[in-house]
Amino acid sequence: MDRRSPVSRILIVDDDRSIRRTLEKFLGAEGYEVATAQDAPGAIAAADGAEVMLLDLGLPGGSGFDVLAALGDRTRPPTIVVVTARDDMQSTVKAIQLGAYEYLVKPVDIDRLRAVVKSALASRNTRDHLEEFISHAAEAQPSGVILGKSAVIREVWKQIGAVSTTRAPVLIAGESGTGKELVARAIHTASADRERPFIAVNCTALAPGILESELFGHVKGAFTGAVADRPGRLELAGKGTLFLDEIAEIPMDLQAKLLRVLQERTYERVGDARTMQLEARVIAATHRDLVAMVAKGTFREDLYYRLRVVEIALPPLRDRAGDIPVLVEGLLAKINRDLGKDVRYVTPAALARLQAHAWPGNVRELENTLTRAVVLAKGDVLDETGLPIGAVQPQGDPADVDAEGSLPTLREIERRHIARVLVHTEWNKRRACAILDISRPTLDRKIEEYGLRREEPA
Ligand SMILES: Nc1ncnc2c1ncn2[C@@H]1O[C@H](COP(=O)(O)OP(=O)(O)OP(=O)(O)O)[C@@H](O)[C@H]1O
Ligand SMILES: [Mg+2]
């Protein structure tokens, strides 16, 4: 049901006849099939046949905004490039909101126009060849799912299953952003205590004195400012889960107190003599190397062993790049849901770039990067231009290295590629133009320039 002709069709919408004529002549010479319309209803009526529409904003019979809005609901509307004299913020914002691909201000620089039309067509062409990246399964994932398919992630799933049936302490180790809190919550949710509280304490966020009273609670008058009795997190966790995040950051004296709590399951609130019972299950997490800290004497060895009855290690994302496609799929579905967007196509170049990046901030960084790309995406395609991360190392195509092993020039690659496409299309120049995304005059010029000739098969 591909209705596109090999020659790309451009619809020029402008009420100014001389502008229509100029653009028509220019784009015709570039090898495009050109149609024109002079008012909003005419633009809407002619839109179906066009791949790219150059749209003026001030039009008779409705504005360019009306045209954008009217075409927004169509399944395959033309890619709309606004070409207008209105050089103001409000119009620009509105046009982009309504789905315009680009906003050009008159008088239009002809090279810029040529480039924009080309890239609009290229992005449509890319889009047509992309498979939907998001499956229904991914769309339906509840939040809290640990995505991945690497052996380590499968192992983590099993560990969660195993530890969730016990109340043994668990230590979760991994770099920042690897999903430590996600795993802690998953253990809680998978356990029989899921309806009970999950109380997280970030041990870095609090000054040492405050941390102690946060954990254990205090009674009225225990210290200046203790105006009333206050339960600690240990108490608030009840028979649920107490999550001690960034456990490596707790000071030595508190380490001793915490050790006692874990050993005897009893503690006292600050300023109180009564003994309290710890009933919660304890999960701790850290991005630090606790073994090294124990060796240096900055973390108590006995506490370390108490906490890590079971240890779940989350490897950095760079060591499991195979998880990236599944993560991208699941995270995109979630981001679309959160932002009310529908970015469902990912170009191979974008995916390659995502897989090549080292992700020092791990899954959190990946999530943030994708969120930004989704916000800025034009239409429903995520391509590499929206990714603010380093370019991929060029992959040497062995076919592009000559016998001496030296790399070819750009011209040489172009010559070979055009020759390859001509062989592929059996010298059907219209099809070759469509594949190469160049105009017929350009193709003829290149054939001439590179001295390409149709050869009979040997
Ligand atoms: N395997 C995964 N599947 C889906 N989302 C993940 C995964 N790992 C991490 N995330 C997401 O990445 C973000 C960071 O995860 P989380 O907060 O659990 O990391 P962390 O290890 O606790 O990081 P930090 O040390 O910075 O606190 C969260 O939004 C989380 O949902
Ligand atoms: Mg965390």
- The full set of domain ranges for the chain reads 9-128, 169-308, 318-386, 408-458
- Vertex 116: Cα angle to 113 and 121 (nearest 5): 125
Domain 408-458 CATH (choose: 1.10.4160, 1.10.390, 1.10.10, 1.10.760) = 1.10.10
Q: Is the pLDDT at 374 greater than 50, yes or no?
A: yes
What tokens does 298 get?
């900055």
Q: How confident is the model at residue 4 (pLDDT cuts 50, 70, 90)?
A: very low
Q: Is the pLDDT at 405 greater than 70, yes or no?
A: no
Give residue 421's pLDDT.
83
Task: Tell me which CATH code domain 318-386 carries.
Answer: 1.10.8.60
pLDDT tens per residue across span 275-288? 999 999 999 999 99
Determine the distance from the C-alpha atom of residue 45 to the mean position of all C-alpha atoms in its chain, rounded to a whole number: 37
The rounded distance, in Å, linking the Cα atoms of 244 and 282 is 7
Per-residue CA distances from 110 to 114, 124, 383, 438 (Å): 6, 21, 26, 16
CATH 3.40.50.300 fits 169-308, yes or no: yes
What is the CB neighbour count within 10 angstroms for residue 12? Answer: 26
Question: In angstroms, what is the span from residue 179 Cα to ligand 2's centroid?
Answer: 7
Give residue 6's pLDDT.
65
On average, the pLDDT of the chain sits at 90
CATH T-level topology, domain 9-128: Rossmann fold (3.40.50)
435 CB within 6 A, ligand 1: no
Question: In angstroms, what is the span from residue 303 Cα to ligand 1's centroid?
Answer: 25
Rounded to two decimals, the pTM is 0.76
Percent of the chain with pLDDT over 70: 94
Query: Between 13 and 205, where is the model more confident?
Result: 13
174 CB within 6 A, ligand 1: yes
Q: Which residue's CA is the closest to the ligand 1 atom numbered 9?
A: 179
Q: Is the pLDDT at 328 greater than 50, yes or no?
A: yes
Same fold, 9-128 and 408-458: no
Give residue 143's pLDDT.
83
Segment 194-208 shows an average pLDDT of 90
- Write the burial class of residue 409 (CB in 10 Å: 0-12 exposed, 13-18 middle, 19+ buried): exposed
The rounded distance, in Å, linking the Cα atoms of 125 and 113 is 18
What tokens does 457 get?
């098969």
Contact 170, 163 (CB under 8 A): yes
Question: In angstroms, what is the span from residue 146 Cα to ligand 1's centroid?
Answer: 9
- Vertex 196: Cα angle to 192 and 202 (nearest 5): 115
State which amino acid sits at residue 286: T
Decide the pairing of beta strands 170-174 and 281-286. parallel
State which amino acid sits at residue 122: A
Question: In angstroms, what is the span from residue 318 Cα to ligand 2's centroid?
Answer: 18
Q: Which residue's CA is the closest to the ligand 1 atom numbered 28?
A: 364
177 CB within 6 A, ligand 1: yes
Segment 181-192 shows an average pLDDT of 96
414 CB within 6 A, ligand 1: no
147 CB within 6 A, ligand 1: yes
Give residue 456's pLDDT.
55
Q: How confident is the model at residue 300 (pLDDT cuts 50, 70, 90)?
A: very high
Q: Is the pLDDT at 399 greater than 60, yes or no?
A: no
User: Mean pLDDT highest for which of 207-216, 337-346, 410-419?
Assistant: 337-346
- Vertex 373: Cα angle to 369 and 377 (nearest 5): 175
Tell me the ligand closest to 312's alpha carbon. Answer: 1
Question: In angstroms, what is the span from residue 139 Cα to ligand 1's centroid?
Answer: 19
